[in-house]
Structure 1
Amino acid sequence: MTESGAEKEPVRLRPWYLFVRVTLFELVGLLIWGALTLVTLQFGSSVSLELAAGTAGMFAADTVVDHYRAKPPRRRAAAAAALLTWAGTTVLADLVAGRFLPETLPDSLGFFVGYLVGLPCGAVVFARVVNRASAV
């Protein structure tokens, strides 16, 4: 009970909000990676898709980490489900790309696409598990 006598309502996460926010932060990370790549290409460096995925992930994961720090109920189970979704999507996209894409494309393209698609999907799974736990 709070001082006013009313019970505090648990905070509900909106899955679509997390999806859009994580996707937008991924795009910001990719823009920064693109600018860094343009600068480093002048010095003879090559394009690294792994670095692109890492840069996008650092920016996008901050949104989910903020919700994790808010200490909702069952946050560890939600984080585990989100990480499994993210990893599963990444591996699945890498397998599909390795099987169906032409050999002229980079080997890490499937990993890159799966990583970028899996992060917002993992955020949605996180929000859904947390919402289900708060409703109980």
Structure 2
Amino acid sequence: MITKHSAKSSSKWLNKVQWDEHGLVPVIAQQTGTNDVLMFAWMNRDALEKTVELGEAVYWSRSRKKLWHKGEQSGHIQKVLDIRLDCDSDVVLLKVEQVDDIACHTGRHSCFFQQLNVAEAEWQAVEPVLTDPEAVGK
């Protein structure tokens, strides 16, 4: 697990991130051990700093226009074990331990549960619902 500490002590590492024109960077959350891709989200500087500070994933909600501590309502937090930056410094990868194995607000393990069935020309859900989506929230 990343060591919890005040990320504000040095902004040098934050300045390396290539933030987009809205001050955001795309983030992929990946389950440690299995390497399952759990979800895609966005972070701003505050979200990335808070993630390091807490050792838990904090994202920027574009729809709500505020910080979103993953699992704050559902309890399905993401414990951050490792943070990586891609070769262009414009995508962040979080290696996480997903509490209760549910990352998606649909009650599934991963947000990537729809698979293209080329023969039928349609998307099909291929992952089971693990818990009532009403209990998960966003």
Q: Say whether the fold is shared (TM-score over 0.5).
A: no
Shorter-chain TM-score tier: under 0.3
| Structure of greater relative contact order (alpha carbons < 8 Å, 6+ residues apart) | 1
Bigger Cα Rg: 1
The structure carrying a bigger helix percent of its residues is: 1
> TM-score, with normalisation over the residues of structure 1?
0.24
> TM-score, with normalisation over the residues of structure 2?
0.24
The structure carrying a bigger strand percent of its residues is: 2
